[in-house]
Structure formats: C-alpha cells, structure tokens
Amino acid sequence: MVSEATNTRKKSVLWDWLTTVDHKKIAILYLIAGTLFFVKAGLMAVLFRIQLIAPEMEFISGQTFNELVTMHGTLMLFLAVTPLFFAFANYVLPLQIGARDVAFPFVNALGFWLFLSGGILLSISWFFGGAPDAGWTSYVPLASREFGGIGIDFYVLGLQISGFGTLISAINFIVTIINMRAPGMTMMRLPLFCWTMLITSMLIVFAFTPLAAGLLLLMLDRVFDAQFFIPGEGGNVVLWQHIFWIFGHPEVYILVMPAFGIISEVVPAFSKKRLFGYTSMVFAVLIIGFLSFMVWMHHMFTVGVGPIANSVFAIATMTIAVPTGIKVFNWLFTMWGGKLRFTTAMHFAASFVPTFVLGGVTGVMLAMAPVDHLYHDTYFVVAHFHYIIVGGIVLGLLAGLFYWYPKMFGHKLNETLGIIFFWVFYIGFHLTFFIQHILGLIGMPRRVYTFLEGQGMDTMNFISTIGAFMMSVAIIILVINIIYSALKAERVTEKDPWDARTLEWSTNTPIPEYNFAQTPQVRSLDPLFYEKIHGNGEMKPAEPLDDIHMPNGSILPFIMSIGMFIGGFGFISFHMDLFISPYVLIAIGGITFFGGMAARSLQNDYGYNIEKETVESMEKELS
C-alpha cells in the first residue's frame, strides 16, 4: 500500500532542498558545491602563483605556501572535479537510460551530504591551527605527528567522510545503470557517457577502499600513536606510498573517464554523425579501467623498488597509450566529414583532443623509468598532470556544462560570451602550464615557495603567473555569462535545442519530476536520432500511461551527515584545547548518525503516487 502523497504538502524552498531525493535537484546541489570548491582552489592557485611571479618574493610565507598548495590539490581532486562530474551524472545518467530516478534516491542524497560535510570539515582547518601542509599526497613522514600540523587530521577525517559519500554514490550509479535501463537499452546501446560513468563508479569502489584503509591507518598513527608508518617504531613510509598510489593512479582515470564520455556525446551531436567506432570505444574504456590498477608504481620509480619492478610498471604504463589512442582517432574520425557546428561546447570538445594528447605524450615520457629520474619532482611533472587535469578534464567539464545547460536550467548560455570565455581560458591555460615543461627541464623543483634570480627562470615564471590571471579572468567571464543568460536569455521550450541524439533530449523542458510519463522503448544506439530518421521524432512508449510511483523526500541524510561531521571533528579534537571532551563529540556524532540510520530502518516510507490524470495534465502543459 502506498502512503499519502506527502510531497503535496507545501514546503519552504530551504526545506525542499534539504530534504530532496530527486536526482535532478541533487545534481544541482553537486554543481553548486563543486563549483564553490573549484573557485576556492583556483583562488589558492592564484595566490601561490603571485608568490612565484618573481624571484625571492615575500608575498606569503613558506608555511602558507605549503598549505595553499596542499589545499589546492586536495580540493581540486577530491572536492571539485569529482562532484562536478557527479552533478552531470546525477542529472543526465537516469535520463539517458530512460529511468525515472537513480536506484536508491535516499542513498543518493546521503552521498551528497556526506561529501559536503567532509569538504566543510577539511575547509575549517584554517580556523583551528592551520590547513594541511604535506602536499595532496600527504606523504609520511611529512604527514606524521612529528612533522605535520593538525591540518593533517582535518585532511584524514575530511577525506574519509567525503570519500564515504563518493563511494556509496558510485555503488548507486552502478546499480542504476545495470538494473534500470529502459526496454531495448542493451549494454551495447548505452550512451558513452553512461559507459564511462559505469567504469568510473567501479574504479571508485575498488580504489577508494584502499584509500579509506590507508587514511584509517594514518589516523591511528596520528590520533592514537600507532606505528604503521613510523620507521623508528617498526613502521614503513613506503607502505603509505603503495596504498596511496594504488588509489591515486586510478583516481586520474576516475576523473578523466567521465570527460571521455562527455566528449563522446558532444562531438557526435555537433558533427551530425554517429560516434565512429562505438564498440571499439567501449572496449577501450574497459581496458583503460583495468590497466589503471596495474601502473601505480610508476609514481615510485625513484623510491628504489628495483629495475624489474620499474620495467614491468613502465611497460604497463605505456600500454595504456594504445586504447587511449583508439579513442582519439575515434573522435577525429567522427568529426571527419561531419557537418561541424562550432558552438562553445564544441570549442571545448575539439580543443580537448590535442591538449589531452599532449598530456598523454608527456605521460609516456614520464613512464620511462630512467628518464623519470630526471623529471621527478620538477615542474615538468606539474605541467604534465595539469595538461591532463585542466587541459583534459576541466575542458571536458566545460563542454558538458555548455551542452547540458539548456536541459538543466531551461535556457542556453550566451554563445558570444561563451566563445570569449573559451579563448581567454584556453590561451591562459597554455601560458600557465606549457612553459612549466621548460621550467622543469631546466631544473626548477616543484613545491618550492621561491627561487633565486639569475637562473633563467624569471621570465617563464612571470608568464606562467600571467596565464593564471587570464584563467581567473575567464572564470569571471563565465560567471557574467551565467548571470546575463539567466536574466536575458530566452527560455528553451523545445525538447532538443541542439538536434542531439540521446534520450535526455526527448524529455520535456523543464523536466517533470518523473522524467518520462511513459518509459521509452529503445530501438537503436542513439535512440532519439533513430526515431527522427525512422519514426516521427518522438520516442515510442514501452508501457501504457498510468500512475507513477515516486520516493518521498527525507531530512535524515542531512542529519546523518551532521552526525558524521561532529564525530569526525571529535577525533580531530584529541589534540586541541577545547571546552568539550572529544569523547562527548564522538558520542554525539555517533548517536546522531546511527540514530538517523535506525530511524530510516524503522520508517514505513512507501513513497507516493502521481495519478495518471495529473501526469496527463502536466504533459499537456509542458508540450
């Protein structure tokens, strides 16, 4: 029996967003939170680039430099890029497979609030003795109690809580993709973005687990004086490097895989062609996902693991270039002979290809163990991974933002401002990072807060900082575009403003809470395009119109995340002078979290039905 329609009760805007389990609203929450962390991390980068604009600058201290660099990397990798991809995945993925929601809406909301509470816990470290300062990798012994400040405790607990949210969200995506596809949507008809999110989610499950274990051990070392990573007491610092990079290298693919998927959606849409070599593309991402776990030790060539291990991992690393090259050629052949439309989204997608290739080429250079001894811990490495992270992943994110914006917000972003934004960002990016390859080759070490003049580094560091300013100006142009478009742009009323190919463009705009009044019948890869050619341009229904069952909202995910936040802060406070005992904080946090879990378990929540007549009325109004 279905409960009363609790969603019909009038809610305040704040309460509605705190209790929502709608995948589209959670996507917006991810988008806002991820953007805020992205901007924060970007501002930190500008601050330490100012420090490096000239030799022997004293803009910030060495300690502050270390904290800014650590927080910049940590925020970008854990709290900005991943949640931004989760934003698109939450919004688009159920639509692309013809589902009304994700498999576990409650867990989806819990995943977001845990991610946010972990991010906030990490961010408040500035107010309690200083931010983490051992680099985003937190290598021990730098991160030990002996050398690292209390900021490392915030790093450990913040990432554990945030990572738990990411982990359960990934499991949710896996179940959703496998179990909730519309009739006819076979695995080999899945849009590439869904495939890449499926592989990404699996990588998260297998990679975040060792990270969680490593963070737990580090927490035990720091909070309870254990000795897993303390050499003088029988521990091993190299153990941390193994644990971290078993997570850390797949993490690169966790970030870049969704970008592959977005590019694979945008390029065919604006080339008016089917994606070239769809099957080979699917197998390429599968192989990359597998190999990503086979190469972690190429981050440790200089540790001294021996020539045989170095050789094996060097070969495995270079092997990844093969499936990666397949994807690049598939995108190029998709564009080849197509009717290209260079919208802003297509600008970002097209520019992604050569930029990512350049990052891949320098990756192959770093994969050669003997040569890596020359590049290691220089700015060459910094330039390489920023060509992957910014030149690949962020360009992919921006392509996705301009592409899906009309479906998410009901209007397009201004194209003129978008093109200006693209060129300022793209030129600024190359000014910032291309020149860092040369800085690395002439020997500038990374993680140093100043340098002496007369070493041939002055001009190149100056240009690199100017490039960082340009990227900041570009982000301001994007913000102006968002505000301008919200105020001036015409509402998008058609379902498919880009003449695209996949299912999300067959839904009404704005999208009703149930997504599809009738589950669509999928008859081909690119199902919407197929119906445009072989049907009437509308998806055929796979079921008769009937009442639609939807889940109720709940405040419990929000409350449970508060419990985790308080409990995490309690563990950190063992080394702080507070007026309240750490044990009390841990107890409050535990009771709040597990109390929320118990309440959810005992609650008889059957969701609610949207009646057939209401669905008919809403569809008539939207069409």
Whether 535 has a pLDDT exceeding 60, the answer reads yes
C-alpha to C-alpha distance for 171 and 556, rounded to whole angstroms = 20
Whether 6 has a pLDDT exceeding 80, the answer reads no
Q: What is the mean pLDDT of residues 396-400?
A: 96
Q: Which two tokens stand for residue 600?
A: 């959810």
Q: So what's the pLDDT on residue 225?
A: 85
Task: Name the residue among 610, 408, 412, 415 with its Cα closest to residue 509.
Answer: 408
Other residues' Cβ atoms within 10 Å of the Cβ of residue 98: 26
> In the structure, what pLDDT confidence band is assigned to residue 187 with cuts at 50, 70 and 90?
very high
Cis peptide bond prior to 141, omega within 30° of 0: yes
What is the 3 state secondary structure string of 282-344? Answer: HHHHHHHHHHCCCCHHHHHHHHCCCHHHHHHHHHHHHHCHHHHHHHHHHHHHHHCCCCCCCCH
C-alpha to C-alpha distance for 78 and 574, rounded to whole angstroms = 25
Whether 327 has a pLDDT exceeding 70, the answer reads yes
Instruction: Write out pLDDT tens, residues 493-518.
Output: 889 999 999 999 999 888 999 999 99
CB-based contact 381:323 (threshold 8 Å): no
Least confident among 365-369, 387-391, 445-449, 618-622: 618-622
The H or E element that residue 377 is part of is: none
Instruction: Write out pLDDT tens, residues 29-74.
Output: 999 999 999 999 999 999 999 999 999 999 999 999 999 999 999 9
C-alpha to C-alpha distance for 411 and 127, rounded to whole angstroms = 40
Q: What is the mean pLDDT of residues 425-446?
A: 95
Task: Name the residue among 392, 399, 390 with its Cα closest to residue 342.
Answer: 399
Q: What is the mean pLDDT of residues 597-612?
A: 90
Q: So what's the pLDDT on residue 10?
A: 67
> In the structure, what pLDDT confidence band is assigned to residue 4 with cuts at 50, 70 and 90?
very low
Q: So what's the pLDDT on residue 447?
A: 87
C-alpha to C-alpha distance for 573 and 582, rounded to whole angstroms = 6
> In the structure, what pLDDT confidence band is assigned to residue 7 with cuts at 50, 70 and 90?
low
CB-based contact 256:393 (threshold 8 Å): yes
More confident residue, 120 or 447: 120
Cα angle: 603, vertex 606, 607; to 5 degrees: 115
DSSP character string of 550-607 = EPPP-SHHHHHHHHHHHHHHHHHGGGS--SS-HHHHHHHHHHHHHHHHHHHHH-----
Whether 489 has a pLDDT exceeding 60, the answer reads yes
Q: What is the mean pLDDT of residues 79-96?
A: 95
Q: What is the mean pLDDT of residues 513-537?
A: 93
CB-based contact 458:497 (threshold 8 Å): no
Task: Name the residue among 182, 194, 88 with its Cα closest to residue 516.
Answer: 182
> In the structure, what pLDDT confidence band is assigned to residue 129 with cuts at 50, 70 and 90?
confident
C-alpha to C-alpha distance for 282 and 332, rounded to whole angstroms = 16
C-alpha to C-alpha distance for 601 and 314, rounded to whole angstroms = 49
What amino acid occupies position 222? R
Q: So what's the pLDDT on residue 157?
A: 94
C-alpha to C-alpha distance for 622 and 615, rounded to whole angstroms = 11
Q: So what's the pLDDT on residue 1?
A: 40
CB-based contact 92:508 (threshold 8 Å): no
Q: Which two tokens stand for residue 185?
A: 């949507």
Average pLDDT, the chain: 92
The topology (CATH level 3) of 25-554+605-622 is Cytochrome C Oxidase; Chain A (1.20.210)
The DSSP secondary-structure symbol of 457 reads -
Q: So what's the pLDDT on residue 8?
A: 54
Q: So what's the pLDDT on residue 504?
A: 95
C-alpha to C-alpha distance for 186 and 77, rounded to whole angstroms = 33
